[in-house]
Every structure is written in C-alpha cells, then in structure tokens.
Amino acid sequence: MALEDAKKQVDTAFTRKGLTGLAFENAFAGATSFLRRTYSKYLAGVDLAITGVPFDQAVTHRTGARFGPRAIREASALQPFDPPYGWPTSPLEEMAIVDYGDLAFDYAHTPSFPGLLTAHIGGILAAGAGTVTLGGDHFITLPILRAYAEKFGPMAVIHFDAHSDLWADDDMDRIDHGTFFYKGVKTGVIDPKASVQIGIRTHCDDYLGVEYIDARTVHERGVAHAVARARAIVGDRPCYVTFDIDCLDPSVAPGTGTPVWGGLHSWQAAACLRDLAGINMVGGDVVEVSPAYDSTGATAIAGAHVAHELICLYHWAKYRK
C-alpha cells in the first residue's frame, strides 16, 4: 500500500484518471464503488463491467438481498490496495474495469423486471465487455443467462450453492429464486451436460442431468477433486460462474436468506475459485448477501472476495489462457 497516496486520494470512484490501477484512499472513507473502480456508463475500451442488481422479490425465507450490492461495495474497500493474494497477476492494474452502477427497475412492477435485466446485461455484452454482477437474490441469474445465451449459445454453468435451484416449475413467468436453474435448463439457456453444482446440501428430486458435488464430498474428497470434476465437465465452453453466498456455512456467512448448515468454509471456496483458473469464464455473479442478518459484516466481506475472484477468473480467461 502506498501510504503517501492515502493522504491525497479520495472518492476515486469519481476522481480516478483512467480505468486501471490500484487504489489507496482510506478504506473507511470516500465513495464506495466496487474496488474503488470508476463509476461509468460508458463502455468504450472497457473489459469488464461490475453491476449491481438490488432485487429480492423472489426469496423463500428472509428478505434483504436487495441491500447486497451496497454492502459488497462497501466491504470491497478493504481490497484494492494490492494485487489479489495468490494470483500471479493484478487485474485492477491490467484490465479496464468500471462500476456500471445498479439496474434501474420499478420495484412495484415485478413482471417487467426479468426483461429489463436481460436487456441491461445484453447492452453490456454488445459493447464488448463482460459482467460480474452483485445480487440480489438468485433469481437474477436466469435473466442474466438469457443475455449470455443470446451471445454464446447454451451456457456451461458452475453453480456454487447449498440448494440446487432445480425445483420443478413450468410457469416460465413465475419469479422464484429456487427455480432459476430448472428454467434455465428447460428453456435451453443452460446446457446441463456442461454444468456442475458445488456445495449442495438440500434435497432435489431431479437434477435434470446436471452433475452435483455436494458439500460432504468437498469436505471428504477435497477441493482438488471438486475442481477437477468441474474442469472436466465445463471443458473449454464459454462458462458462467454463479456463487450463492449460502454455499458457505452459516458460521462463516450468516447474512443470507436461506442458510443451511454443513457448508463450505471460506478457505474451501477461495481455493475452488482460484484453482478454476483457466476455464473459459465469460461472466459471473455473487448473490443472496443479506447484510441485515450479519452485524459483523463477514458475509459482505466474503461476497466482495468472491466477486474479486470472479474478476481474476475473467482476467485469466481473457488475457492469460
């Protein structure tokens, strides 16, 4: 950290010159964009856009994930001083990243939301940038994947979660965070044979051909096994990584709407994400952070680290493969 810079840097989300570089303003001060990236709606020359989707209309238990993007941005202020530990690269210095801000939508007109989100992500992709999205409940991944499938075809998906989100629901207009994967498979935006779920520890009647690696398997057979299977399944296909924060055990990340015991520890998730380096990742998200249920802020900190790791995976796929 350049301590001398902290004396004069502030509000770099608005005052930064250029789109690359670390940031050294005081972590407790200033405008809290994600990793102190520049807030911008202009995507010319941008590699990656961070965007927030503060939507939690579809949760089955505790609401509050609409505050996830704000909390994750604030927690990320601890990270932009140095390159990410353990990576032989520094995406903030080597890649043009902006904070594209949040999706605007009418909270009182829920049926219009999915189309708005698909168009939002589609516009970013059309400009040539990728996305890392801060949620929001897990329903948001379905409209996002629709935009990705329009560009890349049926997607390979790596899905970290306590739940399969494969509840059978053939009403495609119904909005529910527990059905996004089911509807993605049924409508052809997710390729089940090229997708994998990691960390599962709740019942599912039918996985629709999707391989799953439950939490116990990760604990007993290790991160290396889970990563090797995930790599084999997605291959070199364009891949989307979605991380529900309740994949982590509630002792690590209590601030979520549907916590389930027996989950991954943060070190296991960190190792999984890091060891996936080299997959053809074209986008990702972290969802279900509900800060009201975690007075320590640990869940938002975990969410910010997950999003930073997704940036690293995207950078590795784009520039290092």
Binding-site sequence positions for Mn(2+): 138, 161, 163, 165, 244, 246
Give the residue carrying structure tokens 């020359």. Answer: 45
3-state secondary structure the chain: CCHHHHCCCCCHHHHCCCCCCCCCCCCCCCCCCHHHCEECCCCCCCCEEEEEECCCCCCCCCCCHHHHHHHHHHHHHHCCCCCCCCCCCCHHHHCCEEEEEECCCCCCCHHHHHHHHHHHHHHHHHCCCEEEEEECCHHHHHHHHHHHHHHHCCEEEEEECCCCCCCCCCCCCCCCCCCHHHHHHHCCCECHHHCEEEEECCCCCCCCCCEEEEHHHHHHHCHHHHHHHHHHHHCCCCEEEEEEHHHECCCCCCCCCCCCCCCECHHHHHHHHHHCCCCCEEEEEEECCCHHHCCCCHHHHHHHHHHHHHHHHHHHHHHHC
> Across the strands, what pairs with 47?
none
Query: Which residues define the annotated binding site?
Result: 138, 161, 163, 165, 244, 246
